[in-house]
Structure 1
Amino acid sequence: MSAGLAERGGVARIFANLGLLLGGKAGAGLMSLVYLVLAARALGATDYGTLVLVHAYATLLGGVIAFSGWHGVVRYGNIAYEAGDHHRLLRLTRFMALVEVGCGVVAILVAAALVPLVGPHMDWPPAAMALAVPYSLAILANVRSTPHGLLQIAGRFDLISLHQLVSPTVRLVGSVAAWLSGGGLTAFLLVWLAAAILEGVTMWLLGWWGTRGMRLSAPLLGGVRGTVAENEGLLPFIVTTNVDLTLSELGPKLSPLTVGWMLGPAAAGIFSLAQRASVVLQQPATMLGQASYAVIAKLLAAGDRRGFRRSVRHSALVATAIGTPITLVIGLFGNPILHLLGGRSFGGAALLLFLIAAGRLVALGATSLSSGLIAFGRPTRSITANLVGNLLLYPLLPLMLLWFGLNGAGWHALLQSLLVVALLAFYFEKEVRAWAKG
């Protein structure tokens, strides 16, 4: 196959995978819009903010303590699967599953233990405090990266797409029921908890189902002895990629909690609605990163330098092109969008919405660049960029909230995105040039 055909083939495979993922995401996005409107209008800014804070608290601890290792499953699992070594592939899968489930259990216990300390500082009402401890089980939504990686190896992006409908479907059905019955904060918390638990459990079931078409010659259940020894560099790789994912998601998860801590649940509700209104920008880029990683990893393994570089750049540019008109619409119609979604109690945040959307637009290329660096075997480069953007810049958030009020959170999000993308682009081009010379 010629270099040009290989390049086009790599890009074509990325966007074929992306099409499957976005099919599920489109349906999920429509349902998310409906249940978001129902929850915001039923609860108002303050109670909706409390719902957001309880969920963000569990999500934050789940993201920090729970373990996401799908990059390791895809990278090392692909090697074993292509070599026909199914025993090695499943030993790796079992090992990653044990690590992930163990960290998930620890995360749930820590989240439950800290509720009495965190809740009162965020003005959670008695109804929220009563459910916050069992709501720690929502962390199960984070415990699903192993089957996700296995489905990528199997090429079952259709099942990954299907899985994206699980949580929105449960939230939509539950929100309609809560709306019709006049349920308040407690009802919506229970709906969100059920959706999170089913999101985690369903992925494991789909992962099991997806292996049926792989015709594996080894049993799913068994031992894990020798996994680390037969996969050179496995532990450093999965630790660094997990840290990278954690850091990349830490800023967005810390922000609503910081807003709620400093400005109260109502401000957190307005900030969260602005984030959700602009999340339509982030979803294509996230899906693009998932769709492209397996493809660019194979191009890199095959030594196709031009195809690898072109696929990463093309993915980043397409994501940005998709997001630009959406950002312009958000900038022009900010207040009507917020009023439509949440009602009058969410008004006056048009500038905040535009700043958050602009930050997401800038960050659209980050997912593809990060995937490229990880495929290079340089996850520490991506970690450095996310460390600077999401941790070292975090102390500015409370100061910007003091200086600019709630809009300070928007300015902070835009600054984070600019810095992270600039660093990722610099590191990616540096690695490409070094590879070309070497």
Structure 2
Amino acid sequence: MSARAASPSTAGMRRRLLHNLAWVGSSQAVIAVLGLVSLALTARALGPAGLGVLAVVEAYSRSIARLLHPEPWQVVIKHGAEALEAGDHERFERLVWLSLVTDLALGLVAAVAGVALAGLAAHWMGAVGGGAALLALGATAALLAARPTATGVLRLYDRFDLLARIDMGIALLRVALVAVVWAAGGELFAFVLVFVAWTVADGLLPILFTLPQMRQRGHRLRPASPRRIAAENPGLLRLFVNSNANVTLRQLRQRFDIVLLAGVLPAAALGHYQLARRIGEAALRLGRPLGQVTFPEFARLVARGDRARLRRLLVWSSLGLSAALLVILVPVAMQMDRLLPLAFGPGFAGASACVNIMAAAMALYMAGLTSGPALMVLGRDQAMTVLTGATTAFFFAALIPAARIWGAEGAAAMQLVGNALWLVACLALALSASRPQPIQGQAAT
């Protein structure tokens, strides 16, 4: 194929990327700011110790949900892109139906398990965990969690704009609820209720907007046996298991770490660590859109057999994100000693070292955000799972010893080291896997 013939496809991909990146990037920036406002109000209301206890409740709920509710959105994007490219709309409809049923069933399992295990978790955490009742209440947030299916469908439809509006609306709801509780002088229990309310909204609202989008395109939920759906989507189960194993291993480092540290660190130190994590997550929102908008493009390029263009997209997206991170994060880190007490209260004046270490750790993770989606669509999900598993095992092996010696700063440093190891290995694997060559039996001409 000539370069002239290929140019319309390239131009179309660039337009989609820029349009989607503009929507997702701007919305994530707004959500990051709103999240920091919520964090500041919560921190001022509860102080370091109260924020530490709330962090444990949230981390317990999210850890249980992550372990027991694998998310099928990667499967929807990869196999859904193949079905839509082939014009097989019924196959797409069956795939979405199975994904939604999976989401609802596993959300129920996660909520029930979280409530049932709250007493055991409270025993490990002691007073820091806030008691079994608070842990059980927080666990109910996982009940209605159909967001993964909605995310996959809306991204395939290139409705990143709609998804961005939904996310901003949920972030505004969270700020509003936190502001009401803060103004009313609410205590820890009220903030746990806020966590449950906005988490349920986050799990339910996206699918309520997705179903009308499907109807507008002539699509509907088409029930079918899971065996049939698996047969017409080869590799579905493997991708579902490996992609979720990889994401679970990654996210447990950002969620289950708090649960483990609750048995080691005092509540105030946990509050400092949680502040560092939440600020790092806000920064992560600025880079995450690139991974979100490139995943469907990677899937389309693999479906067309265009590995050379995939490699170029991978390289330039990683380099561009790394340059942006240096420009943004370095000046902020230099002013952290003054910013933290001003924004979150004097109780967090000593958290600057922990925050800066965590910010560096998140920057390293963001630099490799596009390599993960590329490896998934290239069929290297098993290798990525092994890689992520190895770095996660290192992190958890070193976490508690480091926290006992250096406190919250030691725990943040293990995030930094683990992310550095992951980044180097992940980029090397992605660049190797994306070398231009025939894929899926494409014949050389």
TM-score range, shorter chain: over 0.9
Report the counterpart of residue 132 of structure 1 in structure 2: 135
Report the counterpart of residue 172 of structure 2 in structure 1: 169
Aligned mate of 1:399, from 401, 414, 420: 401
Q: What displacement does 1:7 show?
A: 4.7
Report the counterpart of residue 385 of structure 1 in structure 2: 387
Q: What displacement does 1:289 show?
A: 0.9
**1:9-408 equivalence runs, <5 A:** 9-124=12-127, 129-140=132-143, 143-216=146-219, 219-224=220-225, 226-408=228-410
Moved more, 373-382 or 38-47: 373-382
Q: What displacement does 1:81 show?
A: 2.0
Q: What displacement does 1:417 show?
A: 0.9
1:240-294 C-alpha deviation (Å, 9 max, x unpaired): 1111111121111122223222102221111111122232331133221111100
RMSD between aligned residues? 2.1
Q: Distance in 2 between matches of 1:232 and 1:221?
A: 19
Closer, same or farther in 2 for the Cα pair 1:127/1:247, shift >3 Å?
Answer: closer
* Count, aligned residues: 436
Closer, same or farther in 2 for the Cα pair 1:142/1:365, shift >3 Å?
Answer: farther
Moved more, 130-139 or 234-243: 130-139
Moved more, 126-135 or 97-106: 126-135
Closer, same or farther in 2 for the Cα pair 1:143/1:59, shift >3 Å?
Answer: farther
Q: Distance in 2 between matches of 1:201 and 1:9?
A: 32
Closer, same or farther in 2 for the Cα pair 1:53/1:77, shift >3 Å?
Answer: same
Contact 1:31 1:172 in 2 (8 A): yes
Q: Distance in 2 between matches of 1:294 and 1:413?
A: 29
TM-score, scaled relative to structure 2: 0.92
Contact 1:170 1:191 in 2 (8 A): no
Q: Partner of 1:262: helix, strand, or coil?
A: coil
TM-score, scaled relative to structure 1: 0.94
The amino acid of 1:330's aligned partner reads V
Q: Distance in 2 between matches of 1:181 and 1:27?
A: 25
Contact 2:129 2:135 in 1 (8 A): no
- Gaps in structure 2 of 5+ consecutive residues: none
Q: Partner of 1:186: helix, strand, or coil?
A: helix
Closer, same or farther in 2 for the Cα pair 1:400/1:143, shift >3 Å?
Answer: farther
Q: What displacement does 1:127 show?
A: 6.7
Contact 2:108 2:144 in 1 (8 A): no
Q: What displacement does 1:170 show?
A: 2.1
Q: Distance in 2 between matches of 1:126 and 1:144?
A: 28
Q: What displacement does 1:227 show?
A: 0.8
Closer, same or farther in 2 for the Cα pair 1:330/1:254, shift >3 Å?
Answer: farther
Q: Distance in 2 between matches of 1:289 and 1:140?
A: 27
Contact 1:260 1:267 in 2 (8 A): no
The amino acid of 2:42's aligned partner reads A
Closer, same or farther in 2 for the Cα pair 1:196/1:54, shift >3 Å?
Answer: same
Report the counterpart of residue 423 of structure 2 in structure 1: 421
Contact 2:394 2:418 in 1 (8 A): no
Q: Distance in 1 between matches of 2:109 and 2:169?
A: 25
Q: What displacement does 1:3 show?
A: 5.0
Closer, same or farther in 2 for the Cα pair 1:192/1:276, shift >3 Å?
Answer: same
Moved more, 421-430 or 324-333: 324-333
Q: What displacement does 1:138 show?
A: 1.4
The amino acid of 1:306's aligned partner reads A
Q: Partner of 1:21: helix, strand, or coil?
A: helix
Contact 1:167 1:199 in 2 (8 A): yes
Q: Distance in 2 between matches of 1:127 and 1:413?
A: 25
Q: Partner of 2:370: helix, strand, or coil?
A: helix
Q: Distance in 1 between matches of 2:170 and 2:131?
A: 21
- Gaps in structure 1 of 5+ consecutive residues: none
Q: Partner of 2:262: helix, strand, or coil?
A: helix
Contact 1:355 1:414 in 2 (8 A): yes
Q: Distance in 1 between matches of 2:53 and 2:395?
A: 26
Contact 1:363 1:417 in 2 (8 A): yes
Closer, same or farther in 2 for the Cα pair 1:264/1:141, shift >3 Å?
Answer: farther
The amino acid of 1:162's aligned partner reads R
Q: Among all aligned residue pairs of Structure 1 and Structure 2, give the percentage whose two residues are the same amino acid.
A: 27
Moved more, 132-141 or 389-398: 132-141
Moved more, 180-189 or 160-169: 160-169
Contact 1:54 1:128 in 2 (8 A): no
Q: What displacement does 1:13 show?
A: 2.6
